[in-house]
């Protein structure tokens, strides 16, 4: 796991201070740093040593033929199998290291850009062809590892994190704020790829590769989730499906335990992390390390459940009960860590558990992906419910009457807004998360910052055979997972030089789950049914069969107590007017409703505005 950056054909290549740029990414790779520079390209690399800890495995790495040089962030778990394939074709090939990096580069030299289809892992790869003066970029199928790029007037640069590009003086002077991205942020709580908060900086989308030559960037997908759905999806036998799932998960976890450094798992006590932990422990004779975090507020504390599962599995468990002071110390730093407006407040406990885990291990496994693949979110029930013709007929009266009822009904009212089917999935996601509707964004942004936009929500017609719930889950897999959840884990864990691997997002599991009949995902009213059946083989159901709570903090309470002054510093009328993006009257009305009335469900909107205002104030240049 590492940090990478590079420039191609910059006017001032000899003047670029590579050491200063690498320092901005030093948290991602404290073990080694290196660079490559020729007349046309500059590459930089920071290494977190995981496999083959020797200096020979440092990067930038040159191919055996000498033509290609690579910087790479991630892990390729099947590199040993790829090495065997290379040797079968080139019997003279003798690896110089025991690293996956060398094998990746030799695979590219042998098979060209299509080599990426052979990789099982998480990765952002940059390969410079010194002969043809071409740059190749690759990002893993699900978007576990980040890759940003700047392109304008023939200038091109890339990096693992936005901060490298946005602070480099030669690039910074060309940057303009993307106001469409602000609209997207208010609606979704994150900025979806390929956009970033800057017009000139983009995110290479998950499952894509790109080639830069003569200042021109061409890009295409090599893997798309929707294209992996077969026609039709066949009802599977539950026993066969359970056996297949177990085989896949065991293989995936076994791959992700390949490391030359200590490792463990994040164990929240929920289904997904418990399953990953249980399988990992079953593959070991000695206790593995597990880590969990909780809060004094019992409504948000699941650490007791995690401890019970850890005791049952016999892991070496480390737990931390975070105080409000522990969590609040990180809140002012979120815009620095995440670089652009990002409103997922569960970044706080993710930072805290990563900080704790890094004291003991260098690699952790997480349970991300289970909800999207096996129907774990409430949004999927809403998608199914709102597709009912009778419910659709009642949308208008429901949207008018529900705001007059108890708080839980008020919150649901926005889900019944009449929106076009083309944007229904993003609407359901947004409102189920308590965020701003598209109408809200028009009200809260000054007129000159209102921008219309549309995400691809129908995926080129691949959804016809899917239920509304499945379609909503695919939307999350394409947007929420890579642009929110995986961003959260990557930045939080790598802030402490901790590598986090995600077994449930092995592309073999993803493709299999996409074709699993929905009756095996939600059965007898129980979400994630098949995943829970598998977990039951390792852990008694009584330890995990409970309502889903999520990895959250008492944000609603804190915004009314410890965080109130902090929020008002950025959301008072003067601060809002100075930033010049939000409508001061709308913000003031929201704050009054939240603080003076029984409108606690507005807390996520207040948090979003706070995050945006803080970013605007810190980047006012």
pLDDT digits (tens, 9 = 90+) for 225-251: 999 998 777 777 999 999 999 999 999
Same domain for 176 and 237, yes or no, is: no
Which among 496, 526, 553 is the end of a domain? 553
Q: Which of 553, 568, 591 is the last residue of a domain?
A: 553
Q: Are residues 171 and 278 in the same domain?
A: no
Count up the domains in the chain and report the number: 2
Active site residues: 2
Distance CA 88, CA 171 (A): 45
Query: Does position 411 have pLDDT exceeding 70, yes or no?
Result: no
pLDDT of residue 427: 94
Phi-psi region of 613 (alpha: psi -120 to 50; beta: other; left: phi over 0): alpha
Q: Are residues 472 and 378 in the same domain?
A: yes
The answer to whether residues 198 and 69 belong to one domain is: yes
Choose between 339 and 420: higher pLDDT: 339
Same domain, 229 and 188: no
Q: How far is CA 205 from the centre of its chain?
A: 12
How many Å apart are CA 550 and CA 474, to the nearest integer? Answer: 20
| 300-359 residue pLDDT tens | 667 788 999 999 999 999 998 888 788 788 988 999 999 999 999 999 999 999 999 999
Q: Do both 400 and 537 map to the same domain?
A: yes
Q: What 3-state DSSP class applies to 67?
A: coil
Which H or E run includes 364? strand 363-365
Does residue 141 carry a pLDDT above 70?
Answer: yes
Q: Alpha helices of 476-582 — where are they, by DSSP H?
A: 486-494, 507-514, 529-535, 555-560, 564-571, 573-579
Does 424 share its domain with 491?
Answer: yes
Answer yes or no: are the C-beta atoms of 74 and 143 closer than 8 Å. Answer: no
User: Does residue 546 have a pLDDT over 70?
Assistant: no
Q: Are residues 304 and 186 in the same domain?
A: no
Answer yes or no: are the C-beta atoms of 58 and 43 closer than 8 Å.
Answer: no
Query: Do both 192 and 285 map to the same domain?
Result: no
Report if residue 155 sits inside a domain. Answer: yes
* Furthest CA-CA distance within the chain: 76
pTM: 0.95
Q: Are both 373 and 383 inside the same structural domain?
A: yes
List Cα–Cα distances, 385 to 77, 309, 393, 431, 514, in angstroms: 40, 34, 12, 14, 21
Q: Which of the four pLDDT bands, split at 50, 70 and 90, describes residue 551?
A: low
What is the pLDDT, as a whole number, of residue 621? 58
H helices present in 218-346, as ranges: 238-255, 271-282, 303-313, 324-328, 334-338
> pLDDT tens digits, residue range 95-135?
999 999 999 999 999 999 999 999 999 999 999 999 999 99
Residues 174 and 248 reside in one and the same domain: no
Q: Is residue 153 part of a domain?
A: yes
Range of the domain at 504: 225-553
pLDDT tens-digit readout, 31-73:
999 999 999 999 999 999 999 999 999 999 999 999 999 999 9
Residue range 432-441, pLDDT digits in tens: 999 999 999 9
Residue 591 lies in a domain: no
Q: Per the domain annotation, does 389 fall within a domain?
A: yes
Evaluate if residue 16 carries a pLDDT over 90.
no
Using CA atoms, how far apart are residues 437 and 429, in angstroms rounded to an integer? 10
């Amino acid at each position: 796991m590492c940090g990478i950056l590079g420039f191609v054909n910059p006017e001032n290549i000899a003047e670029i201070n590579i050491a200063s740029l690498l320092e901005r990414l030093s948290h991602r790779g404290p073990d080694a740093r290196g660079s490559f520079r020729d007349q046309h390209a500059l590459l930089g690399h920071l290494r977190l040593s995981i496999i083959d800890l020797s200096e020979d495995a440092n990067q930038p790495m040159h191919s055996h033929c000498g033509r290609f040089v690579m910087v790479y962030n991630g892990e390729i778990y099947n590199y040993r199998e790829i090495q065997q394939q290379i040797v079968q074709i080139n019997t003279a090939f003798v690896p110089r290291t025991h690293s996956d990096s060398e094998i990746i580069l030799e695979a590219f030299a042998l098979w060209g850009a299509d080599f990426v289809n052979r990789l099982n892992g998480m990765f952002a790869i940059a390969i410079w062809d010194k002969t043809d003066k071409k740059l190749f970029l690759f990002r893993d199928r699900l978007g576990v590892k980040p890759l940003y790029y700047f392109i304008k007037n023939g200038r091109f640069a890339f990096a693992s994190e936005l901060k490298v590009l946005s602070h480099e003086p030669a690039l910074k002077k060309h940057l303009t704020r993307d106001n469409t991205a602000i609209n997207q942020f208010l609606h979704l709580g994150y900025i979806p790829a390929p956009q970033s908060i800057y017009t000139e900086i983009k995110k290479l989308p998950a499952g894509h590769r790109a080639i830069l030559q003569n200042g021109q960037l061409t890009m295409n997908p090599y893997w798309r989730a929707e294209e992996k759905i077969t026609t039709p999806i066949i009802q599977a036998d539950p026993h066969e499906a359970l056996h297949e799932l177990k085989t896949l998960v065991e293989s995936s976890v076994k791959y992700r335990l390949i490391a030359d450094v200590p490792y463990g798992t994040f164990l929240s006590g929920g289904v997904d992390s418990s399953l990953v932990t249980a399988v990992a422990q079953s593959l070991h004779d000695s206790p593995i390390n597990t880590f969990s975090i909780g809060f004094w507020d019992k409504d948000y504390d699941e650490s007791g459940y995690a401890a019970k599962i850890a005791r049952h599995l016999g892991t070496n468990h480390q737990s931390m009960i975070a105080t409000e002071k522990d969590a609040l110390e990180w809140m002012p730093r979120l815009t620095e860590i995440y670089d652009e407006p990002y409103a997922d407040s569960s970044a706080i406990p993710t930072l805290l558990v990563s900080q704790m885990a890094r004291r003991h291990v260098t690699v952790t496994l997480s349970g991300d992906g289970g909800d999207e693949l096996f129907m774990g979110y409430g949004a999927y029930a809403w998608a199914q419910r709102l597709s009912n013709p009778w419910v659709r007929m009642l949308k208008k009266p429901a949207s008018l009457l529900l705001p007059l009822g108890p708080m839980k009904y008020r919150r649901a009212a926005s889900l019944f807004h009449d929106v076009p089917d083309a944007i229904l999935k993003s609407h359901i996601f947004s409102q189920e998360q308590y965020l701003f509707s598209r109408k809200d964004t028009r009200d809260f942004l000054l007129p000159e910052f209102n921008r219309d936009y549309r995400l691809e929500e129908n995926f080129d017609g691949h959804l016809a055979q899917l239920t509304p719930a499945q379609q909503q889950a695919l939307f999350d897999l394409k947007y929420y997972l890579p642009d929110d959840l995986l961003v959260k884990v990557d930045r939080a864990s790598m802030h402490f030089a901790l590598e986090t691997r995600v077994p449930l997002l092995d592309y073999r599991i993803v493709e299999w789950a996409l074709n699993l009949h929905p009756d095996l995902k939600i059965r007898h009213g129980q979400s994630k049914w098949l995943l829970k059946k598998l977990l039951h083989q390792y852990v008694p159901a009584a330890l995990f069969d409970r309502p889903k709570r999520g990895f959250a903090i008492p944000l609603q309470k804190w915004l009314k107590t410890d965080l109130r002054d902090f929020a008002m510093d950025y959301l008072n009328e003067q601060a809002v007017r100075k930033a010049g993006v939000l409508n001061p009257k709308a913000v003031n009305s929201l704050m009054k409703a939240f603080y003076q009335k029984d409108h606690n469900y507005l807390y996520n909107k207040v948090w979003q505005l706070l995050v945006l205002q803080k970013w605007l104030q810190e980047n006012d240049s």
